Structure 1
Amino acid sequence: MSFYTDEPKIVVIGGGTGLSVLLKGLKKHTSQLTAVVTVSDDGGSSGRLRAELGILPPGDIRNCLVALAETETLMDKVFQHRFAQGSGIAGHNLGNLLLLAMTEITGDFVSAIKEVSEVLAVRGKVIPATLDQVVLEARMKDGAIVTGETAIRNYNHKIEKIYLVPEACRPVPDTLNALLEADAIIMGPGSLYTSIIPNLLVEGVTSAIARSKAVKIYISNIMTEQGETDDFTALDHLRVIMDYVAEPIIDYIILNTGSIDELRLKRYQEEKAVPVADSYQQITDLGIKVMAADLVSNTEVAWHDPDKLANIIMQVIYDNQPEGLK
């Protein structure tokens, strides 16, 4: 654990849009960032590349690299460009293809990420949760076994248990080192079953989190997610995470208190999503500290605001700084 008077070492764990939003805010406060990103995506351009070429899905990795880029440059837009036409190329993202090309040139995915990070002047490091080819599988409440992240999301029953196939998948060594040296470890925001928990299922990750002296923070989602967390409260999210770990790995939970306007609520009704109830007292009864604030962005979707979220995280980190360094 470092003396983080200037720049704390922060490890963030997750995937999808939520992780990218978080990184955009945190990179303004520290360059000592490590993003550990799930690699079980099987949809869109990432899924096609994975199925056709056997590479790890690059989409979430690409989004994190762009989020951590030093400036919003033309190169960032290039990496996010999606082809609209062309036989075989339509629907593919240029950044995904560049990561594929760099993997073939350098010989491995981690080296490809490092090279692309230099091109984008990335502020921090992005690490895949595992280099093993893993598939997400779920046992549903109705007893069905559903294979693949997309199929799990689309299945019309609640998830009972989720796991990786193969179960014995290894972490990238840099991940465990970053966790043990961190000042703060952050899980979320993001899809509970398909973005956060898959990272915790990789061998050694939860034990490294438990052993780390870092302050451990879970960021509750603002809205429930159809097919994953229908009608979940913040407490329900925590209980699911606890089901997958042998030791306590959460010290703080960050909750949103900001209201969501009727226009956005109506939009989410079509997705059968509602604001996540806070369960404040029940969470504190578990011994987990609660930090709550208005964290909603001013965009047309009910996402976290990157700067608001980063500010409250930094407050938690500095509140937990060693006494002599405050």
Structure 2
Amino acid sequence: MADEIYSFECRAKRIVTFGGGTGLSTVIGGNSQLDDWPENPFIGLKQDFPLLDVVVCTTDDGGSTGLLLQELPMIGIGDFRKLLLSLILHKNLQKLHGLDDVLTRQIIRVIHCIFNHRFPSGCRNFQHVVNPLLVVPRHLRKYCPKDLADLLSSFGRYVSPGGGGPVIAPGGHCLGNLLLTAAIFQFNGKTGSNRHPGMDAIEKGIEALAQAIGVTPGCLHPATPTPGQLVLRYSNGVAVRGQRKSAITRRLMPIDRVSVECCEVPRVSEVVCRAIREADLILFAPGSLYTSIMPILQIPPIVQAIRENHKALKILGANFWIQEGETDISRRSRDRGFRVSDLVEAYDHNIAGGSEGLFDVVLSANLEHMPGSVLRNYALEGKSPIYLDRSSVESLGVLPVEATIYSRERLNSAGVIHHDPQKFALAVRALLIAHQRLNLKQERGSLRRFSPRLMKPPRADAPLLCTYYKQIGAILAEKRFSSKTLRNTMHEMIWENRDIRIDHLKYFCGARIVPASRWTRSKEWDNVLGYYDPEDRILKVHEHANLDPERLRDNLLTALGESLLGRYLKSRHWVNPEDGLHWGARRYEIRLRPVQDRACFLDDGALRAYLRLARMLPCPHDLNTFGITLNDREGFLPPGLLFGLLYAWYLNNAYGGIMEYEMSLLRWPPDKLIPHQLEERNRKQALVRFFRNVVFQHGDE
């Protein structure tokens, strides 16, 4: 059988792969970010399937890509850099430059070094951008053909001062990303335009760089040229924007669904749609479920083309390990991470029409004989395997297949489990043979536990991220900050929490670090070190919070949230017991200003609705007075402080940690609670819904 697999002729088979991140590039041609990749670069699917089309997710917003999105109207391109390396073919390099095997290997090392070189944060020296060969060790520079060196240099000059293109300070960037950005924007028409590059400019830019380094023309495609970003919605109702947020926040809740917001209706190349319809094999590469694969399948023409192809074998590549922030909590059972059936059900739950017609087979790693020491080491990092629950997968109408698709060599040498490009390609070959003989697309009954949702198409009127970033900067520049560092911190904090609306920034006029000796805020209610002062409209943060960057951001977010209420209070006071209350009880009352004097983000109806959710009830004889009656020792968060803390918690519960305890009741299923707890849970769920729909205006589906 092994001989048959190796001899199986698959060079005429057309294959389309979807994905992003490290998983896609690894199975295509090895993980090109690894230092030892140049030692064995010509492996993986690219070697077995020359008729290969790679469709890449474009919503990445972290690292170097995130910095580019702050400055330019563009899609996320970080994964393209990885794939350009992984797609290099030996024969293409030899034909292009007339090289023997030894020189070809040396050029690979040169290209690998240039593309993966990362500039230190804050670097503004363009010397190595203008002349990329300078980042290569001296003994290797002589192997770079002059025409390649000249082309890369021309791209570098384009994004350097005086080069005619957008000037991009290199600090924090991968050099390969800068070169690819230059290649794309050279075809984008008028320099300085806020028009994002269309499909033509992106394809020409990718091709210009791809052909120069030995990548087969026309095989690498963006899922869409339309810039957009992810919206992740958790099972507690919180919805937040940005791919990176899933990794840096710890919601302790499963992701319920994912959607995409674009600046216009997302377009798809007809070349991509045709490749999908004509494919013999469609592969969803291993990778981040919600941030690498799912965004692609939010684009209707791509899903339609996949379903219209009835001949292709469709394979879902399962991940080895759960991913913290994405697949660490199952929607079906919140006390464990994902199993393979959870991956399948996630597509059912998130894609219009469910997973029907998307894949026939799920390919999973055989981890039965994994050494206990390796599993223990991964467990110490918070990682556990995604096990194949075969019967559950079969009940979903998908054929489960296990194979040894990890590298035993890397397991033995480094104690890690990574996809092995050669073994993965071999498994795909075997599945094609099995499909040819047995028809793996035969109908299997589906007993899906979840009914597919009817999803709205992606939002098509979101602002470009660079526009949002520049608007923030312009608004903050007009406000008073006690230091430039504080202004920069707030700018980056808002960028990281892009659910903050531009109109949230108009209710304060500055921010200040307050020395401990001048801190006059009462600690009767809390020990929060940041607040909004409605008298001078300043966000004030205690100097102790300034000692810890995370604590500073936490308190800035809280104060910013409080500022949205503006000057809504005319007065506040405790009602004395002798004023009519029973012994052992106390009452707190507030009186609202007239609507025109409040300077409040919330309109009158929304403000009153919020106060009720904060347990403040209107007085029957005076509708502008709200109050709450408490037992003598009962704790209480005043509505202004509660609003600020909820604002910070909603955006990032790592910042609003004070509220994580308060809101932890949402992690309990309703049927496990007694009536009093259920009532409190419902109130907190309503608060989340209020912030999602009214404050951050995500809206309901």
Q: TM-score if structure 1 supplies the norm length?
A: 0.92
Q: Which residue of 1 aligns with 2:112?
A: 76
Is the contact made by 1:186 and 1:217 (CA closer than 8 Å) also made in structure 2? yes
Give the whole-Å Cα distance in 1 for the aligned partners of 2:237 and 2:345: 21
- The size of the alignment, in residue pairs, is 320
Give the whole-Å Cα distance in 2 for the aligned partners of 1:100 and 1:319: 42
Is the contact made by 1:83 and 1:89 (CA closer than 8 Å) also made in structure 2? yes
Distance 1:92 1:263, change over 3 A: farther
Q: Which residue of 2 aligns with 1:163?
A: 259
Q: Which residue of 2 aligns with 1:289?
A: 399
Matches within 5 A, 1:76-95: 76-84=112-120, 86-87=123-124, 88-95=169-176
1:114 corresponds to 2:207:
yes
Matches within 5 A, 1:247-326: 247-258=356-367, 259-297=369-407, 298-299=409-410, 300=414, 301-321=416-436
Higher relative contact order (Cα pairs below 8 Å, separated by 6+ residues): 1
Which deviations, in whole Å up to 9, do the C-alpha atoms of 1:268-304 show, x marking residues without a partner? 3244210111011221233322221112223343221
State the 1:264 CA deviation.
4.0
Which deviations, in whole Å up to 9, do the C-alpha atoms of 1:61-99 show, x marking residues without a partner? 111111111146122332222223623423211110111
Q: Quick one: which of 312, 321, 331 aligns to 1:214?
A: 312
Q: Larger radius of gyration, structure 1 or 2? A: 2
Question: For 2:417, what is the secondary structure of its paired residue?
Answer: coil
Q: TM-score if structure 2 supplies the norm length?
A: 0.44
Question: For 2:385, what is the secondary structure of its paired residue?
Answer: coil
Which deviations, in whole Å up to 9, do the C-alpha atoms of 1:179-223 show, x marking residues without a partner? 001010001200000001001011211111111121100011011
Aligned AA for 1:64? L
Q: Which residue of 2 aligns with 1:139?
A: 233
Q: Which residue of 2 aligns with 1:238?
A: 344
Q: Which residue of 2 aligns with 1:126?
A: 220
Q: Quick one: which of 323, 333, 348 aligns to 1:225?
A: 323
Unaligned stretches of 5+ in structure 1? none
Give the whole-Å Cα distance in 2 for the aligned partners of 1:28 and 1:43: 30
Is the contact made by 1:69 and 1:76 (CA closer than 8 Å) also made in structure 2? no
Give the whole-Å Cα distance in 1 for the aligned partners of 2:378 and 2:267: 37
Give the whole-Å Cα distance in 1 for the aligned partners of 2:417 and 2:372: 11
1:184 corresponds to 2:294:
no
State the 1:156 CA deviation.
2.0
Give the whole-Å Cα distance in 1 for the aligned partners of 2:374 and 2:117: 27
Deviates more, 1:4-13 or 1:101-110: 4-13
Aligned AA for 1:164? V
Give the whole-Å Cα distance in 2 for the aligned partners of 1:23 and 1:101: 25
State the 1:322 CA deviation.
8.2
Give the whole-Å Cα distance in 1 for the aligned partners of 2:82 and 2:11: 27
Q: Which residue of 1 aligns with 2:81?
A: 62
Question: For 2:68, what is the secondary structure of its paired residue?
Answer: helix
Is the contact made by 1:168 and 1:202 (CA closer than 8 Å) also made in structure 2? no
Give the whole-Å Cα distance in 2 for the aligned partners of 1:56 and 1:287: 35
Is the contact made by 1:140 and 1:161 (CA closer than 8 Å) also made in structure 2? yes
Aligned AA for 1:57? G
Give the whole-Å Cα distance in 2 for the aligned partners of 1:76 and 1:106: 25
State the 1:172 CA deviation.
2.3
Aligned AA for 1:128? P
Is the contact made by 1:217 and 1:251 (CA closer than 8 Å) also made in structure 2? yes
Is the contact made by 1:38 and 1:198 (CA closer than 8 Å) also made in structure 2? yes
State the 1:267 CA deviation.
4.1
Give the whole-Å Cα distance in 2 for the aligned partners of 1:44 and 1:100: 15
Give the whole-Å Cα distance in 2 for the aligned partners of 1:10 and 1:163: 27
In angstroms, what is the RMSD of aligned CA positions?
2.0
Q: Which residue of 2 aligns with 1:47?
A: 66
Which deviations, in whole Å up to 9, do the C-alpha atoms of 1:245-282 show, x marking residues without a partner? 41331111101113444554344324421011101122
Q: Equivalent pairs: percent with the same residue?
A: 31
Aligned AA for 1:224? I
Give the whole-Å Cα distance in 1 for the aligned partners of 2:176 and 2:376: 33
Q: Quick one: which of 282, 291, 295 aligns to 1:198?
A: 295
State the 1:163 CA deviation.
0.1
